[in-house]
Structure 1
Amino acid sequence: MVESGRKLTFAAHAALILGVAAMVLPVWLAFVASTHPGTDFLTGRIGFLPGAALIANYKEALFTGSSVSGFPPVGPMLWNSFVMAMAIAIGKIAISLLSAFAICYFRFPFRVTAFWLIFITLMLPVEVRILPTFEVVANLGMLNSYSGLAIPLIASATATFLFRQVFMTIPDELTEAARIDGAGPLRFFWSILMPLSRTNIAALFVILFIYGWNQYLWPLLVTTDQSYYTIVMGIQRLAAAAAEADPVWHLVMTTTILAMLPPVVVVIAMQRLFVKGLVETEK
């Protein structure tokens, strides 16, 4: 039995190691490619070990770009993606918190109907309503702006549903106690509901930040000014430029690695709250 248990443990660890290797290997190859000069791509001398051009490549990609091939610096693109992701994450959470609070704790006509009208918008993602949304944004003069990038993506039925379910788990006795102590609706929301929803907010922030960071189609439509390009759409444009110009695939790989870093940092920094917010069922 002991020998059989050891074999099963070894097989499980081997399968996990193979799975991790399958996910990490492409990232490692991209990182290695980002540390070699562009000429190595033509000679086929890129192996599995980093090259000597790491600092030069990342400095060129971030701050100067390649004037020969029309490769712009990606530093502004990273900033645009960060602003867009933060605006979407914070805006979705703020609006969803307030809407869920109103639905759960205020009594007004058609309260349940309002919630279900919000919920059925899940059947209308951005791709379905993209043309009328673009027309509204264009008529409001929000093309080539941070507001045009973020505001149309802020409303979230999923987040509203999540916070509604969280608020419904809070005992009515807590609400009555706050009311007896003289706490008004905003005081109850800020001092009681917000702390109790901290882990859920953190988990949702991670998901929404990555959602905003990875947006491609919407920024591609509403931005024609290079100064508002995001990093994801920038990668596609840089890859197209690299295929037609001088060998700058090392800069494309460098840009890809740089695009991965902010989401990874957010996940690592908020990992404990993220996991706790997903598995927590009791307050």
Structure 2
Amino acid sequence: MFAPQVHEYLRTFFHETNCEIESDEGYMLTVQLTIDIDKKIMNRPFYWQYIETTGSPPNPARLTLITDRSKIDNPFMGEIIHFGSRRLNQIFKATKELGAFVQMYEKVQQAENGNRSTLTPYLCVNYKISYYCDQTKEKMYSLGINLVNGNIHDDFHESVCNLNLTNEPTENIYCLPYIIKPHRGLERLDEMIQSIVQNDDHSWAQEAKMRWEKEQEVLDYFYEGVEEKPESYEIEKKALEERFNPRIKVEIINGGLFYLKS
């Protein structure tokens, strides 16, 4: 997720959550948060507890977020935000809570012959794959499956971003019933994401194990000749395992059922 993608994501998030975007430079956003969004992403529960207990006037935060630090001279103009940063992860979490699942319909023009337009159901799931060792790498995937013919599309979120979508179907459309049930569609998307993980380059894991072995050799050197290792040795050994042991985590960020024109 590069800087322009992060910026577009933030712009969409704040627009959809009714936060006022006071300025948008393309690489820096200044936003007046609503009370609800402040509570979700600013991590100041004691402030809101005080406000609600005393009945004092609320003052939700005003944020300036820098998505591309290379385009500014003063890094203290705002908070630098990027993929993997704590603030963006808080916003991802808020997005998951607010819109874990949506059902949307493409808004289409009335056909000239008066016939209703046909919309096809798609199940979309947005995944985050995290690769952990002493370093962390994250990847985002948006997959969509056609619930009529079973075709799977990647970058699905990108394909629907510019469509005119609505929460309610209009009168001039006919929604095809799905042949593949959504739970089965989810199973197929999960199988696809597992295949992506399995076929990915896992040299990072081997490299992490090599660094782990070197650190273990250093630890063993300091305790060389000690027959009964003290508790501190076991604690440090366990810490090395937690730090270097390669692991992969797959999460579903959110998803939705989309009825789109074929």
Q: TM-score, normalised by structure 1?
A: 0.26
Task: Compare the two structures and name the one with the higher helix fraction.
Answer: 1
